[in-house]
Chain A
Amino acid sequence: MWAAGSARIPYVYTGFIARRTRDGTISELHFRVTQPSGYLYSTEKLRQLVDIADKYGLGLIELAGQQGQMIISIKPELANEAIDALRSIGTDVAATGDSVRELAACIGPALCEYALYNTLEARDKFYTHPKIYEWLSNQLFPFKFKAKFSGCPMDCARASHRADVGFIGVWVGAPEVDLELFRKKVESGELDVEKIVARCPSGAISWDKEKKELKIDGSRCKKSMECIRTAFPAIKPGKERKVAVVVGGNVKGRFGPKLGWFIGYLNPDQIKDAVDLTFKVIAPWEAEAQPKYRLGDYIMQTGLDKFIEKAGIKLEGAPFTGKKPDEVPYAVLPKEVRERFLMFAEKLKGRP
């Protein structure tokens, strides 16, 4: 039975979790240590971390992929030295509490062929931005804020569900087909065309048996990656790349778990835009949300269209944010709303 405890480390405000028992006899201190982007460690760095866990703590480590590596149970009296030791090996305690939390990126171009933009670089750019840095080290928000970077629609970093603002690599239109390679793969029996056609969730793929031609209807493509996964590299993501922005997903929040809302596309080569966009997203939430409202809860409260308007976000490909029409035929309407519908009808009137 743990209760929130307290720990004082001079000038370090986030990144550690203090716990005490209810009667106050036992207290614990846990460090949340930042991981390098992609969570790839050379053994040299890993050994250094292990040494710190041994020397300053109980030698117990949690390898949490989501929230930064955690070194468990630092001895409170050694906390100050432990921070120095961490900094000397080029890492630090990350974030806890109502701050910008540890950012997450999928492995991206470091080890994956599907990566549509440089997720690791994007994460690093975020970290080095002074404003994000300030928000990481101080608790200034109504609740926590998470940003995640996924390289492709398979969303390994879980940007759509677990991030307040998620950046997911996508392409526009149909996937690219290398027909020769595809034919070769079909003839050698490596690929089953019928299966590929059947697995497409929107039925966008058609196969001409006689001409041996594969056609993908770009307007119907849902970016489910099903064909690409099975036939790579004969079918590749399209050439025109974008980064889809998703806001408001969360797990722990006032109104329960939710998926994020898609609000438009960014260009993959301008990561600076992503940081600026994050500021815009945070601004109305920080100013207006009640305590312990996640961004998603705030959007639920204000409405997505109002939120986009307040935040001043203008992105290409922004979706229609209107709600479904009402089911009841009676309502008290203000005059201007009635006039708008009237004007719509007036315009149609003169047509043959």
Chain B
Amino acid sequence: MTSPKAARLQKVFPVELEKFLPEKVLKNYGKWVDRKYHGYGIIEHISETGDRVFTVKVSMPPNARISADTLEKFADVADKLGIGAVRVTMAGNLEILTDSLDKALKIKEEVEKMGFPVGGWGGALWGINSCTAYLTCTTAVVDSPSITKALGDALAPYFSEGGLPAKLRVFVSGCPALCAGGTAIDIAIVGQWGAPPRIREDVIGMCLPPPKALAKVKEAQIFLVQVCPTGALSLRREGDKVKLTLIGEKCINCARCKENCDAFDYDPEDVGVAILVGGKMSNTGGGARLARVLIPWLPANPPRYEEIVAVVKHIVEVWKQHANPGERLADFIDRVGWAKFIELAGLQDIFNYYQQVPEFARTFLHYRGMGEVPKRLRDAL
């Protein structure tokens, strides 16, 4: 009864767990009772049946993008020293599973020989997530994988040797769409445009109804008008022509329009990043919350992004010096309060200047407002 078309429509999903889970994990499914840590990057899972599984956590390159050959090498390691299984983590790390501590240490040795650091557990940097940016993205502002690389080089000791009060995660997103994982994280770096986009008049017609229909259709039914969250995109009548125009003062640079239509151009020279701190996703400590903007604008200067790296290192340093053991950045800021944290970070003068601008102009939908504000911010910074 299945026609070729119906068969073609039928997607196949990897839903039968027995086929995918390694034997040892399947045998102890739901029976784990304890875990032990063996230095940064090696963790021991103890089952009630007495079985033990060790996982070795390996950091991946920015954006977790590796060649098929490298992945095959990891598979070789997992076959030779492990139980023939690997796990991809949410943070873009790779875990190799094995069954004894000796083998785990050997895996660590082997993987480090390949040039990949092992670590990221407990009071350490757990990894830096990055979006794909220029590799595939249509809206990318800054090249987030290269920022990730620059940051990773600076923070690498924290990954493999720890030394932080608690877990630290960093998300580097190339644009306000936040594909690296949002802002509910210790430190989030978000690419920003400096000015509203310019409409490419020659191609904007592709995303609008034909001119005759455009004159008749209600404004609220135009897709691009619906997509804009602040109403900055609107129809204007010029003579007998109806045109889509962008009101610069209303624009918040969220790029929702560019995401849906390729007729918007931002100035590629005028780009920077915002740095948000003090968010987290898990319910530990004071619970989940979104991060807040500490630095609303910094220029993104490839290849080393010295400004961004310096600020992030400074924030980590402040947190490391003043936090109690086991206190994540979010909980630390909660305890001391934002005012004190800004003072500790040495930003109080800048914030005094920055916050003279009324709040509605400074932030709207979490992003910076336009008009005079960015100029003053740049002066202040």
Given known A-B contacts A53-B68, A54-B68, A259-B288, A110 and B25 have beta carbons under 8 A apart:
yes
Scoring B13, B67, B97 by chain A CB atoms within 10 A of each residue's CB, the highest score goes to: B13
Chain B residue contacts of A86, Cβ below 8 A: 12
Question: Does B21 contact A229, Cβ atoms closer than 8 Å?
Answer: no
Q: How large is the interface on A (under 10, 10 to 19, 20 to 34, 35 or more residues)?
A: 35 or more
Contact pick for A252, options B15, B178, B290, CB 8 Å: B178
Chain B: which residue is nearest A59 at the CB level? B68
Within 8 A of B (CB), among A241-294: 251-252, 254-259, 290-292
Contacts of A137 in B (CB 8 A): 9, 11
Measured in the bound complex, the distance between the Cα atoms of B95 and A40 in whole Å is: 9
Counting chain B residues whose Cβ lies within 8 A of the other chain, the interface size class is 35 or more
Interface-side segment among B101-109, B150-158, B179-187:
B179-187
Among A87-95, A212-220, A306-314, the stretch that binds chain B is A87-95
Question: A22 to B138, alpha carbons, bound, how many Å?
Answer: 10
Q: Are B17 and A158 in contact (CB under 8 A)?
A: no
Are B178 and A136 in contact, with the CB atoms below 8 A?
A: no
Q: In this assembly, does B20 line the interface, its C-beta being within 8 Å of a C-beta of chain A? A: yes
Query: Complex formed: what's the CA distance from A10 to B226 in Å?
Result: 32
- A114 nearest in chain B by CB position: B32
Q: A50-B71, A256-B367 are in contact. Are A291 and B226 (CB under 8 A)?
A: yes
Interface string of B1-22 (1 = CB under 8 A from A): 0000100110111111101111
Residue contact A292 to B256, C-beta cutoff 8 Å: yes
Cross-interface CB contact of B285 among A50, A60, A224, cutoff 8 Å: A224
Answer yes or no: B111 CB below 8 A from chain A CBs: no
State whether the Cβ of B283 lies closer than 8 Å to any Cβ in chain A: yes
Inter-subunit contact B67/A42 (CB<8 Å): no
Given A153-B282, A259-B288, CB of A50 within 8 Å of CB of B262 = no
Complex Cα spacing A51 to B84, Å: 17
Q: Which residues of B contact A113 (CB under 8 A)?
A: 32-35, 45
Whether B13 lies near A12 (C-beta < 8 A) is no
Given contacts A65-B89, A292-B226, 17 further A-B contacts (CB under 8 A): A34-B13, A36-B14, A40-B21, A41-B86, A43-B86, A63-B94, A69-B88, A87-B12, A110-B25, A124-B15, A124-B17, A158-B90, A224-B285, A229-B284, A251-B177, A251-B183, A256-B366
Q: Which 10 A-B pairs have the closest CB atoms?
A: A251-B182, A109-B30, A36-B20, A153-B283, A59-B68, A113-B32, A11-B8, A36-B14, A65-B90, A63-B64
